Structure 1
Amino acid sequence: MNDDAVRTAGRVLDLFQGARLTPTQRRIAHSLVEHAAKAAYLSAAEVAELAGVSQPSVTRFAMALGHSGYPALRRELRALTTGEPAEPAEQNAMQSAVHGETEHLRRVAEQLHDLDDVRRAAALLIDSRPLPVLGLRAAAPLAAYFGYFAAKVFPGVRVLDGGGTSLLDRLDQAHADGAGAMLAIVLPRYPRESVEAVREAKAAGLSVVAITDSAVSPVAEHADVVLPAAVGTQLVFDLHTGPMAMAMVLLQAMCDAAPEPVQRRLEEFEATAARRHVFMA
């Protein structure tokens, strides 16, 4: 353990000095000290798993230290271990929702420590001409966003963002034109048509990469590669910060896998945009 890690562990340990803790609570305290570097970013469930205790035990532990619950203890841990100012103890619903999205992004970042799935997904998609990108209902804007940028560097990107009887016709046409894979963005509440389209794509022999909110979402069992990214559920309508980040990470991986043609197409686009005065700056 280096000097910084020792100092961080010491600051976390100081939180528990003098507190009368049960054996279970001492176990939790030991786990937090042992994992001091990341303690400020762990959920109550993750702390419980590390310590081998129940999640309610973690809540009771935080209250034994004088906090209203585990989130309040985590704010103090974050201030101690990162040097960041503690978040305000009382947050309104909007603040809480946005802070929740930072947690989702942290999980995406941790997941990307291993890039095997992202690279495998990219390899499947860059070889598909055309490349259908499915996104219905809530996922339609994200499919369009991905498709807008992907079309700058990959030929034949087709965004399938409308349901109804023509959806499977368009999928059939993409397959007949040579598509070998499809990107499916399927978010809660999981449109039935999206899952059916993925089944049809698989039956036709297409590989499917799915961006969805969970590894156990209804589309996951039909996909060749699943890239999960949680959605925010604290507001009336979901926040899709995590899935959007994952979509753009996937596009970056596709660009990294084919750097020369991507660079050539970008330069061609920039030259055309300059000639046509497309942008103000």
Structure 2
Amino acid sequence: MPDLSIIAAPDFDSLRTAILERKSTLPKRLVQVAAYALDHPDEIAFGTAASIANAAGVQPSTLVRFAQSFGFEGFSGLQQIFRARLRERTSTYEDRLRKLAAEGVEAEESAAIFNSFVAAAHASLDALASAIDPDAFERAAEILARAETIYLIAKRRAFPIAAYMAYAFGKLKVRCQLVGTEAGIDDDLLAMAGPKDAGFAVSFSPYAPESAMQARTLAGNGIPLVALTDSALSPLAECADVWFELVEADHAGFRSLSASMAFAMALTVSVAEKRQRR
């Protein structure tokens, strides 16, 4: 039975807020569903209860319990919220490519792969503006602009973002330190960070344990932290002063960094502009 003390959320943003507010009190399996729902909202909208449960690694009955814990009669009621979110979105470049394919426009295999990656990049960039809150972006730029040294934390797929920010900050005469040395002295570098410094961390699912640990270290030492990640349930979201959720589109499981790079460069230049005005 649904929890009658809880009113079902009227839209996706309200539901997302409710999930984040209650994530620390939910049972383990419901947290698993919450993480999957926030990370894969399109799959929740399109999938069946069986396919979604399989992808989330839970039983279909767990989906019902999750929906009822947020005031819905059953899973289908919650699913309508995710479908409404899709209807509100504008047509993406990927949609246009699918339309061309339906109209009989064919391409050779390599060209089709190229077009698919281009479509994924366009989809990511189309979603970028709506994913980033301007006020939060302003706060993030202000935090980093005040820092004497900006510590850049990233591993694995996220590493190119931090590496390019380090290059751009160097060109813009902004002092930074890329945390990712061949000598293995990352912890020693982080130990030098002081209250006048700041950190910028990037990590995407599956989250690099080193990045999460290093971000928590900075935050635990009172160093202001800005983070870019792909889920509200990311470990970076728990310790950052300001964090941004950005999910890249993919082709065949390969995600590009198109939107993430655009975001990172906008933030880098914004920081440099603020410092110059001072």
Q: TM-score range by the shorter chain?
A: 0.5 to 0.7
Look at both structures and tell me which one has the larger radius of gyration over its CA atoms: 1
Distance 1:74 1:143, change over 3 A: closer
Is 1:129 the counterpart of 2:148? The answer is yes
Q: CA deviation at 1:205?
A: 0.7
TM-score normalised according to structure 1 size:
0.58
Q: Could you report, residue by residue, the CA deviation over 1:224-275 in whole angstroms, capped at 9, with x for unpaired residues? A: 11122213432454311121111012113213423436xxxxxxxxxxxxxx
2:271 is the alignment partner of 1:254: yes
Provide Cα deviations, 1:7-42, integer angstroms capped at 9, x if missing partner. Answer: xxxxxxxxxxxxxxxxxxxxxxxxxxxxxxxxxxxx
Tell me the matched-pair count: 195
Q: CA deviation at 1:201?
A: 0.5
Whole-Å Cα distance in 1 between the matches of residues 221 and 200 of structure 2? Answer: 15
User: Gaps spanning 5+ residues in structure 2: where?
Assistant: 1-41, 47-75
Where does residue 227 of structure 1 map in the other structure?
A: 244
Residue identity opposite 1:160 in structure 2: V
Local SS of the residue matching 2:166: helix
Match of 1:240 in 2: 257
* 2:169 match: 150
Alpha-carbon distance between aligned partners in 1 of 2:81 and 2:224, rounded to the nearest angstrom: 41
**Structure 2 equivalent of residue 180 of structure 1:** 197
Contact persistence 2:193–2:223 (CA under 8 A): no
Q: 1:174 to 1:188 in 2, by over 3 A?
A: same
SS of equivalent residue, structure 1 residue 147:
helix
Q: State the match for 1:105 in structure 2.
A: 125
Looking at structure 2, the residues matched to 243 and 163 of structure 1 have their Cα atoms a distance apart, in angstroms, of 25
- In the alignment, what sits opposite 1:3? none
Question: Hey, what does 1:217 align to over in structure 2?
Answer: 234
Which residue type is aligned with residue 143 of structure 2? L
Please show how residues 63-102 of structure 1 align to structure 2 within 5 Å.
Answer: 74-75=95-96, 87-89=100-102, 92-102=112-122
Query: For the residues of structure 2 that align with 1:155 and 1:96, how far apart are their CA atoms?
Result: 37
Runs of 4+ in 1 over 4 A off after TM superposition: 43-46, 51-56
Identity %: 27
RMSD: 3.7
Amino acid at match of 1:244: M
1:204 to 206, 221, 230: 221
**Are 1:185 and 1:211, in contact at CA under 8 Å, matched by a contact in 2?**
yes
